[in-house]
């Protein structure tokens, strides 16, 4: 009978390269943090660290949603629209309908789940390719939001169509999602870390995570192995929708009003951090901690460059260069080629 081949120890050179691929991105982030810490005394403060995390929390959480969609081999272009919808619907519930924070949270999560479910139905049952389906949903949801609020930001004391003043306001319990602290850490940071850990746990440690990645890597084979492919794909998009709406919840609490433009810039950022997450730890597939690290890298750059007093346009350039260097480390020195499946344009 055949015997197992013994693994010979690998040459040093290869191990170094593997290390570079695995830790290169992290090294760039650490180097950048060290640089800012040395040059900018204020960067070192605990306040600043938590401030950065707080600022990036919505992007990171929406990125976790995109990570879910990418795990089943898709991509969700509607996350920004979804978060924006959450902001307006929260404001509407609080201000126009005069409800308390708890109700608003419920409405927001429900709307996120529904938008996710709409994506799921279009992709899984109507067989529309994910990029196209979520693109159409993006337009529809943005439009729907603006129709609901008549194109206007909703704020307390605003005059309603019938001439009366809106009865409600952003309640304290709702604003807690931005301003609340648990110990020394603010609520958005805790939510961000907790949700990252949760998504990591589900994807990496549970059978459901296994099934999700099986669906993403070869849906056909997954089906024949007894995985309920359609259910898992639907679940991933619904999960993504809920995470996007949580991001919207944090934005709403931060802005304290139903800013109509909220969420617009979230899509690109969320997709970017999820993509960066694929490469960050040399894992080569969508993963939660990588996405979180990607978000942190962006926050570090934005804060550090601002503290250095660089104008915003030099920051864009800096972002690009740092990203490039990190990508070179992660991919160019790696021995096995990686392809990222980020959405398809053909029906599966």
Partner 1 sequence: AQQTTSTDAASATTVPVADLHEPFNGDPVEVALVQQSGAGDYFTAWTAGANAQAAAINIDLTVTDARNDNAKQASDLEQAIASNPDAIIIDHGQTDTLEPRIRDAVDAGIPVIVYDLALEDTDGVIVTSQSDASMASGVLDQLIADVGEGANVGLVSAEGFAPLDRRKAVWDEYVTDNDLNEQFFVGEVTESTATDNIPLVDAALKQYPDTQAIFAPYDEITKGVVQAVIQNNLQDSVKVYGIDISNADIEVMIADGSPWVATSATDPAAIGAAVVRALALSLAGELDETDVQFPAITVTQDFLLENDITNVSQLRDAEPSLLLDDVVVADWLPAVSS
Partner 2 sequence: MLSNVAEANDHPVVRLSGVGVRFGSNRVLEDISLDLHSGSITALLGTNGAGKSTLIGALSGANPHYTGDIAVGTSVEGTAAGVVAERISSPAHARRAGIETVHQRISDGIVSGLSVADNLVLTDLAAGGHHLARRRETEKAARSALARLSLDWSDEVLRADAARLGTSDAQLLILARALRQSPSVLILDEPTSALTAAEADRLFDVLRTLRDEGLAILFVSHRFGEIERLADRIVVLRDGALVLDAPRPFDWQAALAAMLGVPAELQQHIENPLPPGDPVLHIDGARLVAGAPALSLTVHAGQVTGILGLLGAGKSELAETIAGARPAAGASMTLDAERFAPKTPAHAIAKRVVLVPEDRQRDGIQPGWSISRTVGLPVLSAVANRLGVVRTGRERELGSEVIVGFGVVATSADTSLDDLSGGNQQKVIVGRWLRTSPRLALLDEPFRGVDIGARRTIGEAARRQAETGAGVVVLSSDVDEILDVADRIIVLVAGRIALDTPAGVLGRADIVNALLDDSGHSKETA
Ligand X SMILES: Nc1ncnc2c1ncn2[C@@H]1O[C@H](COP(=O)(O)OP(=O)(O)OP(=O)(O)O)[C@@H](O)[C@H]1O
The residue among 277 and 282 lying less far from ligand X, judged by its C-beta, is: 282
210 binds partner 2 per the rule CB under 8 A: yes
Q: State residue 206 phi and psi, 5-degree precision.
A: -110, 165
Burial of 159 (0-12, 13-18, 19+ CB in 10 A): exposed
Q: Which of residues 312-331 bind ligand X (CB under 6 A)?
A: none
Residue 270's binding partner out of partner 1, its own copies, ligand X, none, with CB under 5 to 8 Å set by partner kind = none
Task: Candidates 46-54, 208-216, 227-235, 337-345: pick the segment binding ligand X (CB under 6 A).
Answer: 337-345
Q: How far is residue 319's CA from residue 28's CA, in Å, rounded to a whole number? A: 12
Q: From the list partner 1, ligand X, partner 2, none, which binds 348 (C-beta under 5 to 8 Å, kind-based)?
A: partner 2
Smallest separation, CB 345 to partner 1 (Å): 25
Q: Shortest gap between Cβ of 256 and partner 1 (angstroms)?
A: 4
CB-count exposure of residue 190 (10 Å: 0-12, 13-18, 19+)? middle
Q: Measured from the CB atom, is 46 or 337 closer to ligand X?
A: 337
- Among residues 15 and 220, whose Cβ is nearest to its own copies? 220
Judged by CB under 8 A, does residue 218 bind partner 1?
no
Q: Least separation, in Å, of the C-beta of 125 and partner 1?
A: 32
Nearest to 54 by CA among 237, 182, 231: 182
| Residue nearer to ligand X on the CB measure, 209 or 284 | 284
- Name which of 54 and 334 has its Cβ closer to its own copies: 334
Residue with tokens 């919207």: 248
Give me the least distance between CB of 201 and partner 2, in Å please. Answer: 8
Alpha-carbon distance 127 to 121, whole Å?
A: 8
Q: Which does 226 bind (CB under 5 to 8 A by kind): partner 1, ligand X, partner 2, none?
A: partner 2
15, 12, 19, 78: which is closest to 329 by C-alpha? Answer: 19
Q: Answer for the pair 136, 110: CB distance below 8 angstroms, yes or no.
A: no
Binding track over 317-346 against partner 1, x by CB under 8 A: ------------------------------
Is the separation of the CB atoms in 86 and 245 below 8 Å? yes
Q: Which of 339, 342, 345, 346 binds ligand X (CB under 6 A)?
A: 339
The C-alpha atoms of residue 102 and residue 23 are separated, in whole angstroms, by 42
d(CA 163, CA 160): 5
CB of 317 closer than 8 Å to CB of 311: no
Q: Which is nearer to its own copies, 133 or 235 (CB)?
A: 133
Window contacting partner 1 (CB under 8 A); options: 61-69, 210-218, 286-294, 295-303: 295-303
The binder of partner 2 chosen from 39, 45, 218, 261 (CB under 8 A)? 218
- d(Cα 160, Cα 62) in Å, to the nearest integer? 32
Query: Judged by CB under 6 A, which of 338, 344, 345, 347 binds ligand X?
Result: 338
What's 178's DSSP letter?
H
Buried b or exposed e, range 285-299, using 16+ CB within 10 angstroms: bbbbbbbbbbbbbbb
Residue 47 binds partner 1 (CB under 8 A) = yes
- Residues 259, 78: contact at Cβ < 8 Å? no
Q: Would you count residue 88 as binding partner 1 (CB under 8 A)?
A: no
Q: How far apart are the first and last CA of the chain?
A: 41
Interface residues with ligand X (CB under 6 A) are: 338-339, 341
Interface residues with partner 2 (CB under 8 A) are: 1-11, 14, 204-211, 213-214, 216-218, 220-228, 284-285, 335, 337-348
């Amino acid at each position: 009978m055949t015997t197992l081949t013994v693994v010979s120890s690998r040459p040093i050179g290869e191990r170094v390269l593997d290390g570079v691929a695995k830790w290169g991105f992290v090294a760039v982030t650490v180097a950048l943090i060290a640089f800012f810490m040395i040059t900018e005394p204020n960067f070192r403060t605990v306040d600043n660290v938590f401030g950065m995390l707080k600022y990036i929390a919505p992007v990171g959480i929406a990125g976790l949603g995109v990570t879910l969609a990418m795990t089943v081999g898709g991509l969700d272009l509607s996350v920004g629209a979804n978060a924006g919808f959450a902001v307006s619907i929260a404001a509407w519930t609080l201000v126009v309908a005069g409800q308390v924070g708890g109700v608003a949270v419920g409405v927001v999560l429900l709307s996120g789940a529904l938008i996710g479910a709409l994506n799921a139905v279009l992709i899984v049952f109507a067989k529309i390719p994910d990029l196209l389906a979520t693109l159409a949903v993006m337009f529809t949801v943005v439009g729907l939001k603006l129709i609901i609020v008549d194109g206007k930001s909703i704020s307390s004391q605003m005059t309603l169509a019938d001439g009366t003043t809106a009865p409600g306001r952003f309640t304290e319990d709702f604003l807690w999602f931005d301003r609340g602290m648990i110990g020394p850490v603010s609520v958005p940071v805790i939510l961000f870390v907790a949700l990252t850990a949760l998504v990591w746990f589900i994807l990496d440690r549970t059978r459901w995570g296994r099934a999700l990645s099986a669906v993403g890597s070869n849906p056909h084979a997954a089906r024949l192995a007894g995985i309920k492919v359609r259910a898992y794909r639907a679940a991933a998009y619904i999960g993504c929708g809920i995470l996007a709406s949580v991001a919207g919840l944090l934005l709403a609490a931060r802005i304290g009003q139903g800013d109509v433009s909220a969420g617009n810039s979230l899509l690109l950022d969320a997709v970017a951090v999820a993509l960066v997450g694929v490469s960050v730890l040399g894992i080569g597939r969508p993963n939660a901690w990588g996405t979180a690290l990607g978000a942190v890298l962006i926050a570090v750059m934005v804060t550090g460059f601002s503290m250095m007093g660089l104008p915003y346009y030099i920051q864009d350039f800096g972002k690009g260069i740092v990203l490039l260097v990190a990508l070179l480390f992660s991919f160019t020195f790696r021995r096995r080629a990686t392809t990222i499946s980020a959405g398809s344009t053909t029906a599966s």
